[in-house]
């Protein structure tokens, strides 16, 4: 004899399935401000790479950064904007994925790249010179996209649109 499923059980079951699927999708910071960082190799202004970046422009977002993330999509990252040009230092504490740190001066030039930072490390990663921004992308992404020291970015426009706090 077949027993019919109670009327509420079907919608509740579907809701549970949808919730479990939603929990397996990598988290996306839908409330985060985002921008596009465009790289070019001088003297040409032709773009060689673009990165969609979440913006960390205040103390709270800069302190959290990409901590606790388990995945970073290709051509995505986070740009840390600072209110003044200074030497900065990063670490990988509570960061589960390897990252490339791309250091940018006040002219938007790449002044250094720290490649494949070790996840969970508390070792300091200093900027090679004073910077106003640091772009973090997945480990190996800078090399894969051909980004090198001396490349230029559209950082000036990003800073105008999203002034650091």
Residue 28: is its pLDDT beyond 60?
no
Q: Is residue 2 part of a domain?
A: no
pLDDT tens-digit readout, 127-145 = 999 999 999 999 999 999 9
Q: Residue 20: enclosing H or E segment and its boundaries?
A: helix 9-24
| CA dist., res. 118 & res. 69, Å (int) | 14
Give the three-class secondary structure for 37.
strand
Q: Is residue 1 part of a domain?
A: no
Q: Quick one: what percent of the chain has pLDDT higher than 70?
A: 81
Residue 138 sits in a domain of what CATH number?
2.60.120.1140
Q: Is residue 56 part of a domain?
A: yes
Residue 27: is its pLDDT beyond 70?
no
Q: How many domains does the chain have?
A: 1
Q: Is residue 59 part of a domain?
A: yes
State how beta strands 76-86 and 47-56 pair: parallel
Q: Report the candidate in 144, 93, 110, 138 with the shortest Cα–Cα distance to residue 39.
A: 110
Considering only 6-15, 16-25, 88-97, which range has the smallest mean pLDDT? 16-25
pLDDT at 16: 35
* pLDDT bracket for residue 32 (50, 70, 90): confident
Q: Report the candidate in 86, 100, 78, 90 with the shortest Cα–Cα distance to residue 132.
A: 86
Give the three-class secondary structure for 76.
strand
pLDDT tens-digit readout, 149-163 = 999 999 999 999 999
Measured CA angle at 119 (ends 81, 113), to 5 deg? 45
Q: Is residue 19 part of a domain?
A: no
Residue 164: is its pLDDT beyond 60?
yes
Rounded average pLDDT over 67-77: 97
Residue 68: is its pLDDT beyond 50?
yes
Q: Is residue 92 part of a domain?
A: yes
Q: Is residue 23 part of a domain?
A: no
Residue 116: is its pLDDT beyond 80?
yes
- Structural domain boundaries enclosing 73: 30-161
Q: Is residue 17 part of a domain?
A: no
pTM: 0.82
């Amino acid at each position: 004899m077949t027993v019919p499923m109670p009327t509420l059980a079907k919608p509740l079951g579907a809701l549970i399935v949808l919730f479990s699927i939603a929990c397996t999708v990598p988290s996306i910071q839908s409330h985060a401000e985002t921008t596009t960082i465009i790289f070019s190799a001088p003297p040409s202004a032709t773009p060689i790479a673009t990165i969609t970046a979440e913006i960390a422009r205040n103390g709270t977002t800069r302190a959290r950064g990409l901590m606790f993330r388990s995945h970073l999509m290709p051509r995505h990252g986070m740009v840390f904007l600072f209110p003044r040009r200074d030497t900065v230092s990063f670490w990988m504490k509570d960061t589960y994925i390897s990252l490339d740190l791309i250091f940018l001066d006040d002219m938007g030039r790449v002044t250094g790249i720290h490649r494949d930072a070790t996840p969970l490390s508390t070792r300091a990663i200093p900027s090679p010179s004073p910077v106003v921004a640091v772009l973090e992308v997945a480990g190996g992404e800078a090399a894969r996209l051909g980004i090198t020291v001396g490349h230029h970015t559209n950082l000036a426009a990003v800073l105008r649109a999203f002034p650091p706090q």
